[in-house]
Amino acid sequence: MNIAISHRLPNRIRLMYNKSEYSIKQMILAQELLSFQEGVVSVDINHRTGSILMYYEGVSEKQILSYVVAMDDEYLNDQELLDHISEEREDISLFKSISTLIIAHFSRRLLPFPIRTALLLFNSIPRIFKGLKTVLGSSEMNAETLDAAAISMALYTRDYNSAGNIGLLLNISDTLERHTRKKSYENLSAALMAHTDSVQLVIDNEEITVPSDSVKIGDIAILRAGYTIPVDGVVISGNASVNQSAMTGEFLSVHIYEGINVYAGSFVDDGEVLVKVVAKGNDTQTGKISKMIENSQLLKSQIEKRSERVAGKLVKYSFMLAFLTYFFTRDIRKVSATLMVDYSCAMKLVAPVAVLSAIREAATRGIIIKGGKFLENAAHTETIIFDKTGTLTLASPKVKDIIGFNDYTPEEVLKTAACLEEHFPHPLAEAVVVRCQEDGIEHVEEHAKVELVVAHGLKSSINGDRLLIGSAHFVLDDNKIEISVNEISKINEFIDLGYSILYLAKNLSLMGIIAIEDTVRPEARQVIERLKADGIERVAILTGDNRRSAENIATKVGADICKSEVLPSEKVVYLESMRKFGKILMVGDGINDAPALSSADTGIAMYNSSGMATDSADIILSDEGLNDLIHTRRLGSRLLKRISTANKMIIGVNSFLIFAGLTAILTPAKAAVLHNLSTVGISAWSSRKLLDKGE
């Protein structure tokens, strides 16, 4: 960039550039890039005057000038960087927006009458046409129809001051509604996502700081302790401990190293890694969550829809009241007062704001809720179906015993099983691998590719010998593995004790079994008891595990129904059969639970669930585990009560305002002001927290 020094003071310099050579977007990009350089305190670029004002500290003027000169075409003409720049840089405050409307309104009164009237008509016609379009397009009346009628009546009676005041109040109301919705989404997004403004990149063996928006796919970022990761990427070197609670709800740090994926919003607790950027902005996992937030209003709760329907129906009664008022009083001012106060705009605003606030409150507790209707389902459901392993039990089962058959030793059984299971991150597989490590058994990978048969087990081969490991149904029934009476007797001993059994087979015979103890979550029984006390009538367990093990867990937690040895597709069939009892919540954590989570009225995934389970679920719990079911249900119940109360408040306040307008206690303008203020007030009240800190 070609520059000239206009003025300099210690730690301050003003530069001039040829503004005809650069666009506004390019200079905004230049300002963003310069502001992150070492020693730069602030940068202010005025494109109208072609000046750059920079304050700096701890570096020389020469260094500052080198930063500016470096802003060449490679950066300023980079379309990918420019696409992230908006020329509308200032986020106008609510106060400024409303002040601008008021100043403009009263300034117009200083203009000559013909010009003032023309501007009034120009500003009023769009609202009038919008109201007409609503009626003609759908044959239904709404708040926009009322607004159009009130303005038209004021213009018809040549009460231009009232028409102007009505227009001002409607503009203020629109601004308040946009601001309220925007802040609700921003607050929810902020609760779900961690943000960072800059990132350190390694370019030509040098480290530079750039804005997060300037990062490109393929860049190499360096991440150190204390940094929030702004991109998705894969570690190419180094080691670090990372807190991924923003993504997983798991507050324990995980170890990352070469080849491990990292996600935006994660926090580096310790260590240092180089990460190759694979996704940024809206393409990151947290960006997708943000997109989910924007789409969450497509999943409106029934109470939101009912509020909208009631609001729409009340509009016609407002018109009927206005007609009767004119018929009996012939007083246009009283008619205007009835039209300026309606129930619909408040009802349509308050319900979504309350829902968004509830979703945000859940997010602050680590609970991700993908739409208002799922909160309502959680409050209304009478049936909850649980997966067993990893849901009602801890996702850390332990190997209790190992038995070898057909001359195989327990060590050989464990070694072979660990060799197969280490490829898949299932809790039972991890239990086998951990036991192998604890016993100091080393195993060399000699097997062929391992094939996963979902919800059944694994297939592979070693030196031409076929290997199978998994459930009894998979190994013994599907693959016809031979089993003796003595082996069955020994296996039944463990089953009677409630252990889960992994069967390992080689060719046509059973090598052995691994008995695994599944520990019930400490909170499981208490949570189920509290759910039943709160109105849940049926608690069912669906699991692929054996009958005795499943029934043992069902007894411990207090479940009413237990279905064992079911396949993923069978879970869906059973779930459908339960619909006669009303809405169903399904709680699970694994790949095999994904079909049932999708089929349920509301699917709930545990915080450490598989990716497929979380994608299929409508609600994702935090690391508090099953306790979050209580929080979610209470949140939904209290949300419904709050919206119902808010609607009653809206009807009460606005009915009083209509009465005050009919009795000439209030002018149309004053009634409109109080109507808008009450809408904002009730919206603010409805966005308060629903749960106490101790809950």
Taking only the tens place, the pLDDT of each residue in 19-32 is 778 888 888 888 88
Domain definitions of the chain by residue range: 3-82, 94-192, 198-291, 301-358+637-686, 368-393+521-620, 398-517
Tell me the two tokens of residue 469. 């490991």
Assess contact for 372 and 300: CB atoms under 8 A.
yes
Residue 450: pLDDT band by 50, 70, 90 thresholds?
confident
Is the model's pLDDT at 455 over the cut of 80?
no
Question: For residues 290 and 297, what is the distance between their CA atoms, to the nearest angstrom?
Answer: 13
Cα-Cα-Cα-Cα torsion 338, 340, 346, 348, nearest 10 degrees, comes to 100
Is the model's pLDDT at 169 over the cut of 70?
no
pLDDT of residue 89: 44
Assess contact for 354 and 686: CB atoms under 8 A.
yes
Mean of pLDDT values over 308-319? 69
Taking the domain 3-82, which CATH number applies? 3.30.70.100
Indicate the SS3 state at residue 469. Answer: strand
* CA-based nearest residue to 275, from 217, 351, 324, 197: 217
pLDDT of residue 297: 44
Top CATH class, 198-291: mainly beta
DSSP 393: B
Question: For residues 524 and 557, what is the distance between their CA atoms, to the nearest angstrom?
Answer: 6
Q: Which residues of 441-479 are buried (b: 16+ CB within 10 A; e: fewer)?
A: eebeeebeebeeeebbbbbbbeeeeebbbbbbbbbbeeb
β partners of residue 210: 199
Mean of pLDDT values over 132-145? 70
pLDDT of residue 274: 92
Could you write out the three-class secondary structure of 622-681?
CCCCCHHHHHHHHHHHHHHHHHHHHHHHHHHHHHHHHHHHHCCCCCHHHHHHHHHHHHHH
Mean of pLDDT values over 157-185? 69
More confident residue, 127 or 91: 127
Cα-Cα-Cα-Cα torsion 212, 214, 219, 225, nearest 10 degrees, comes to -20
Is the model's pLDDT at 452 over the cut of 60?
yes
Average pLDDT, the chain: 80
Residue 366: pLDDT band by 50, 70, 90 thresholds?
confident
pLDDT of residue 192: 46
Q: Which residues of 229-238 are buried (b: 16+ CB within 10 A; e: fewer)?
A: bbbbbebeeb
Is the model's pLDDT at 250 over the cut of 50?
no
Is the model's pLDDT at 445 over the cut of 90?
no
Q: Are strands 254-256 and 220-224 parallel, antiparallel or unpaired?
A: unpaired
Least confident of 60-74, 168-182, 334-348: 168-182
Mean of pLDDT values over 461-473? 86
pLDDT > 90 in the chain, percent: 14
Helix %, strand %, coil % of the chain (to 5): 50, 20, 25
Sheet arrangement for strand 12-17: 3-9, 12-17, 51-56, 40-46
Mean of pLDDT values over 239-255? 60
Assess contact for 598 and 616: CB atoms under 8 A.
yes
pLDDT > 70 in the chain, percent: 81
Question: For residues 251 and 254, what is the distance between their CA atoms, to the nearest angstrom?
Answer: 9
Mean of pLDDT values over 423-439? 81
CA R_g for the chain: 33
Question: For residues 265 and 415, what is the distance between their CA atoms, to the nearest angstrom?
Answer: 39
| Residue 564, Ramachandran bin (φ over 0: left; ψ between -120 and 50: alpha; else beta) | beta
Sheet arrangement for strand 500-506: 398-404, 509-517, 500-506, 465-470, 457-462, 451-453
Least confident of 181-190, 340-349, 367-376: 181-190
| Helical spans, DSSP H, in 330-425 | 332-340, 344-364, 372-380, 410-421
Distances (CA, A) of 296 to 293, 299, 369, 647: 5, 5, 9, 22
DSSP code per residue over 216-279 = -TT-EEEEETTPBP-SEEEEEEEEEEEE-HHHH---S-EEE-TT-EE-TT-EEEEEEEEEEEEE
Taking only the tens place, the pLDDT of each residue in 633-659 is 999 999 989 988 998 998 899 888 888
Residue 249: pLDDT band by 50, 70, 90 thresholds?
very low
Q: Of 206-220, 498-512, 652-666, give the range with the top mean pLDDT.
A: 498-512
Domains 3-82 and 398-517 share a fold: no
pLDDT of residue 525: 95
DSSP code per residue over 53-106 = EEEE-SS-HHHHHHHHHT--HHHHT-HHHHTT--S------HHHHHHHHHHHHH
DSSP code per residue over 582-635 = S-EEEEE-SGGGHHHHHHSSEEEE-TT--HHHHHH-SEE--TTTTHHHHHHHHH
pLDDT of residue 383: 93
More confident residue, 642 or 471: 642
Assess contact for 58 and 39: CB atoms under 8 A.
yes
Taking only the tens place, the pLDDT of each residue in 600-618 is 888 898 876 665 667 678 8
pLDDT of residue 51: 83
Beta-carbon contacts of 207 under 8 Å, excluding residues fewer than 6 positions away, are 200, 201, 222
Q: Could you please state the CATH topology (level 3) that the domain comprising 368-393+521-620 is classified under.
A: Rossmann fold (3.40.50)
pLDDT of residue 635: 92
Residue 527: pLDDT band by 50, 70, 90 thresholds?
very high
Q: Could you please state the CATH topology (level 3) that the domain comprising 398-517 is classified under.
A: Calcium-transporting ATPase, cytoplasmic domain N (3.40.1110)
Taking only the tens place, the pLDDT of each residue in 269-284 is 778 889 998 887 666 6
Question: For residues 70 and 40, what is the distance between their CA atoms, to the nearest angstrom?
Answer: 15
Burial-class residue 545 by CB neighbours within 10 Å (0-12, 13-18, 19+): buried
Mean of pLDDT values over 499-523? 89
Q: Are strands 509-517 and 398-404 parallel, antiparallel or unpaired?
A: antiparallel
pLDDT of residue 94: 62
Residue 404: pLDDT band by 50, 70, 90 thresholds?
very high
Assess contact for 21 and 73: CB atoms under 8 A.
no
